[in-house]
Amino acid sequence: MGPDLNRHPGADALSAFADGEIADPSVREHLRGCAQCRAAIGDQRLLEVLLGRRRTASVGPHPDERELLAWAVDELDETRAAAIAEHIGACDRCLREALAVRRAHRNPTAPAPRVAEAALATFLAPTRQGDAPTQGVVRLVLDLLQALPHLTFEPFPAPTSFAADAQLSLEENLLGQVTEARDVAMHTRLGAAPAERSGKYNPVRFAPRIELPLGGLRLALELRPPRALLADLGRTLKLDGQELASGIAARIYAQPEACSLDLRAIDERTGAPLAGVEVSLVAQATGEHDVQCTDPDGRASLQVPGAVSRLTVAGHGSVEVRLAPT
């Protein structure tokens, strides 16, 4: 039968145990299962360290990081805990690391991650061994609308026509990426015929790198510094000057003056980089723009000129780029 975790040793006894004055096996056994009492002893040990009891000791080799962090969260057994305390009493680097994790553990007061639902969806759908790696391809994550209360999303308009293959391939691309998490954030029905393409899209959050099929080419976009791209399905996309019934707009969260958009144009059919493709970003409000041609490797880097800009790929179409207010 295990120790009764509801019967804590007295505070004096815990202090004395931590000071090595008593070696009661029942206290030791209780500590193995009781986080609260381990925390009390951890507090005492930390105070001792901060008061300088052990700061005159020699540093010695740094402990294994897992042991150090286990000490920080009071989950290291007593015999090793004393050795770690001895070390960090003399080693500022390890003490800082331990304090940073201890603070996060004791007071996880950080704001909630805005991608929690997406992370959970990822966690619930593990990749299988042998699956193609996702790094460097499209990193697509989902986000829920309530995580971004400052945004409003227009309802998905009734599709009337789909004039371009790009639109179709974009949708397929998106669905292909979120298949495993579709029940979390996407409720969409796509059929072969345009009339069957309907449904409600929730906002889809992309990582800083996305690939965007656009008018026969595939555009790999990467924002520097890394920020989230929000694809807002349901907004208007103009392709070769023709407005589609629905499309994709990319929202980019960053300060305009510090933001650039790296892109690479790739032939959708052959996968080869496309050189000499003119790409431009034009600020809607000021007309300020940056125009470049892709290099032999299909790459170009554009400064984002305004909070609302339009990225146009000559001969292929355009998407709206929005910078969210900070």
Binding to other proteins, residues 201-240 (CB under 8 A):
207-208, 224-228
**Smallest gap from residue 321 Cβ to other proteins (A):** 16
Member of 28, 32, 187, 200 binding other proteins (CB under 8 A): 32
Name which of 60 and 225 has its Cβ closer to other proteins: 225
Q: What burial letters (b/e) apply to 295-324, b meaning 16+ CB within 10 Å?
A: eeebbbebbbbbbbbbbbbeebbbbbbbbb
**Closest approach of Cβ 189 to other proteins, in Å?**
24
241-260 positions binding other proteins, by CB under 8 A: 253, 258, 260
Pairing state of beta strands 289-293 and 317-323?
unpaired
Give CA–CA dist 62/76, Å, rounded.
Answer: 16
Is 12 an interacting residue with respect to other proteins (CB under 8 A)?
yes
Indicate the residue among 7 and 269 with the shorter CB distance to other proteins. 7
Q: How far is the CB of 180 from other proteins (least distance, A)?
A: 10
Please, what is the minimum distance in Å from the beta carbon of residue 113 to other proteins? 5
Tell me whether residue 181 or residue 244 sits nearer to other proteins (CB atom): 181
Site for other proteins in 64-103 (CB under 8 A): 65-67, 69-70, 72-73, 75-76, 92-93, 95-97, 99-103
312 alpha-carbon distance from chain centroid = 28
d(C-alpha 70, C-alpha 52), whole Å: 21
Coil, strand or helix: which one is 142? strand
Sites for other proteins among residues 145-204 (CB under 8 A): none
Candidates 7, 150, 189, 269: give the one binding other proteins (CB under 8 A): 7
- CA dihedral sign of residues 221, 176, 136, 299: negative
Mutual orientation of helices 35-51 and 92-106 as an angle, nearest 10°? 140
Which residues in 257-286 contact other proteins (CB under 8 A)? Answer: 258, 260, 262
If DSSP codes are grouped into helix, strand and coil, which group holds residue 37? helix
